[in-house]
Amino acid sequence: MDNFEYANPSTVKEALSLLTAGAEVLAGGTDLLSLLKDEVHKPKRLVNIKNIKALGGISKAGNNIRIGATVTLDELASSQLIRAAYPSLVQAALGITSPQIRNMGTVAGDLCQRPRCWYFRSGNGLLNKSLVENGENKYHAIFGTGSAQFVSASSLGPALMALGATVKIAGADGKTKDVPVAQFFKAPSAEGEREIALAANEIVTDILVPAPATKNATYEVRHKQALDWPLATASVALRMSGTKVTSASITLGHVGPTPVRATEAEKMLVGQTITADSAEKAGAAAVAGAKPLSQNAYKVQLAKVAVKRALLTAAGVKAV
C-alpha cells in the first residue's frame, strides 16, 4: 500500500473541497482498504466522511424515506422505518452475512464499491475481456456488455433500483443532483472508467426511496450459508390491486456489470396473480436475454430461480 494523506472533514462542503485530484472518499473502508492493500487503488488522499453528521440517519422526507450515505448496513437492516416497508432492503443487507462488515460498511459504500472480479483485483484491469473469456469466469456476468464481463458487487443496488430509489449527489461546484439508481450504475466501456455515474470530486449524500406502496422482496442464491458473495439475486417490487399485479419492478443482481432490469418479465406480470406458475414464467422471461460465458451457464438458472422466489416471497407465498 502506498502512503496517503488522511483528511477528516466535518461538513460536506469541506469534504468536497478536499476531493482534489487523486483524492478518494473513505466511508467504512471495508472495500477501499482491500483495494489499497491490493494496490488496485493508490489514492493520494483519503477523505473520511464518517464524521459528517449530515450524511447519517434514516428519516421520513416528504413522500420519501431518506437514507443517509453513511448509514451502516446494520443500521439499515435494524431500522424500524425500513423494516416496516422495505423487506427487500433488509433481506439484501442481511445477505451480507458478516456482522463485522455490516457494522462498518455503509449504504453509499455498498453502491460505490468496486467489482470483485479476480482479474481486476489482481491488477489485470477491469475490462480484460480475453482473460475472462478464456479463463475462470464462473462468477462473471451472464449479461455482459461489450468488454464489461464483471458483475456489479452491490446487493443494495438491485433492491433500491426495483424500489425506484434515487441517489443524491453533491458536486464540487456546490450543486446537488438526483440520479435514479437505474442510471447511477453504468457499464464502463474503457479501462479507467467507473461503474457508477459519479465523478471523482462528487459525494453521494443521500438515498431517497419512494413511499412504500409495494410488496417487495429480495432473494439471494449463495453457495455458502455463511459470508459469501451471492451468485445471483433478484429484487422485486409489486404494486397490487387485490391479488392482481398492477405494476412490477424486477432487478437482477450479481449477473451483469450493472444491476439488470427485467423489463419483459415485469410486463408479463401485469394483471396476473403471483403463483408458482406465473413466477416461474417471469423468471424464465427475466433471463431470456442472458449470454453466459464458458463456465457460468448455471447462473442463468440461478437468476431465474431467484426471480421466481423473490416474487413468491413478496406475494407472501412459500417460495421453497
Partner 1 sequence: MAEYKWPPMEKRRVMGKRIARLDGPMKSSGRAKYPSDMNRADLLFGALLTSPHAHAKVKSIDLAAAKAIKGVTAIRIISGPGTEIQWAGTEVCAVSAITEEIARDAVKAIKVDYEVLPHLVKEDNLAKVGARAKAAGEQVTGDPDKAFADAEAKTSGDYGIPVITHCCLEPHGSVVAWGADKIDFWPSTQAVSTVGGDLAKMLELPATQVKVDCQYMGGGFGAKFPADRWGAEAARLSKESGGRPVKMFLDRATELTIAGVRPSHFAKIKVAGKKDGTITGWQSESWATGGIGGGGMAPLPYVFTNIPNRRMNHTQVSLNTGPARAWRAPNHPQASFLTCSAITDFADTIGMDPLEVFLKNVAVSARPETYKKQLAKAAELMDWKKKYTHGSKKTGTLRRGLGIGIATWGGAGHASKCKLTINADGTVEVEIGSQDIGTATRTCITQVAAETLGLPMSAIKVKLGNNSYPPSGPSGGSTTIGGVSSSTRKAAVNALEKLFEKVAPTMGVAADQLEADDSRVVAKGNPSKAMSWKQACQKIGPTPISEMGENEPRVAAREGLNTQGASGIQMAEVEVDIETGVVRIVEVVAVQDCGLVVNPKTAESQVAGALIMSVCSALMEERITDQTTGRVLNADMEFYKLAGLPDVGKLTVHMDITPEHDARGIIGLGEPCAIGGVAAIANAAANALGVRVPMVPLTPERVLAALANRRNA
The beta-strand segments (E) located in 145-199 are 166-170, 176-180
250, 286 in Cβ contact below 8 A?
A: yes
Nearer to partner 1, 47 or 303 (CB): 303
Nearer to ligand FAD, 74 or 315 (CB): 74
| Residue whose Cβ sits closest to ligand FAD | 109
Nearest distance in Å: CB 310, partner 1: 13
157, 253 in Cβ contact below 8 A?
A: yes
Nearest distance in Å: CB 101, partner 1: 11
Is residue 235 near ligand FAD by the rule CB under 6 A?
no
Is residue 104 near ligand FAD by the rule CB under 6 A?
yes
Q: According to CB under 8 A, which one of 64, 78, 97, 273 is a site residue for partner 1?
A: 97
CA–CA separation, 137 vs 118, rounded Å? 9
User: What are the start-end ranges of the H helices in the chain?
Assistant: 12-18, 32-37, 73-78, 80-85, 87-94, 99-104, 107-112, 118-121, 129-134, 156-162, 181-184, 263-269, 276-286, 298-314
Q: According to CB under 8 A, which one of 26, 32, 93, 131 is a site residue for partner 1?
A: 131
Is residue 301 near partner 1 by the rule CB under 8 A?
yes
Nearer to ligand FAD, 95 or 144 (CB): 95
The half-sphere exposure of 35 on its side-chain side, counting CA atoms within 13 A, is 22
Q: According to CB under 8 A, which one of 50, 129, 222, 244 is a site residue for partner 1?
A: 222
Is residue 106 near ligand FAD by the rule CB under 6 A?
yes
**What is the greatest pairwise CA distance in the chain?**
59
- Pick the piece of the chain touching partner 1 (CB under 8 A) from 102-110, 132-140, 145-153, 251-259: 132-140
Question: What amino acid is encoded at 109 in this protein?
Answer: G
Grid coordinates belonging to 217:
422482496
Q: According to CB under 8 A, which one of 134, 189, 246, 294 is a site residue for partner 1?
A: 134
Site size toward ligand FAD (CB under 6 A) is 32
Q: According to CB under 6 A, which one of 31, 74, 195, 266 is a site residue for ligand FAD?
A: 31
Three-state DSSP at 100 gives helix
Nearest distance in Å: CB 144, partner 1: 17
Is residue 135 near partner 1 by the rule CB under 8 A?
yes
184, 167 in Cβ contact below 8 A?
A: yes
* C-alpha dihedral (161, 65, 14, 201), degrees to nearest 10: 10
Nearer to ligand FAD, 40 or 240 (CB): 40
Is residue 159 near ligand FAD by the rule CB under 6 A?
no
Q: How far is CA 8 from the centre of its chain?
A: 26
264 binds, among ligand FAD, partner 1, none (CB under 5 to 8 A by kind): none
Q: According to CB under 8 A, which one of 118, 164, 210, 244 is a site residue for partner 1?
A: 118
Count CB atoms within 10 A of the CB of residue 147: 20
Is residue 53 near partner 1 by the rule CB under 8 A?
no
Count CB atoms within 10 A of the CB of residue 317: 14
Nearest distance in Å: CB 32, partner 1: 15
CA distance between the termini of the chain: 46
Residue 227 backbone zone (phi > 0: left; psi -120 to 50: alpha; other: beta): beta
Binding site for ligand FAD (CB under 6 A): 24-32, 49, 69, 95-96, 101, 104-106, 108-110, 112-113, 153-156, 198, 203-204, 227, 229-230
Binding site for partner 1 (CB under 8 A): 1, 97, 116, 118-119, 122, 124, 130-131, 134-136, 138-139, 221-229, 231, 295-296, 298, 301-302, 305, 320
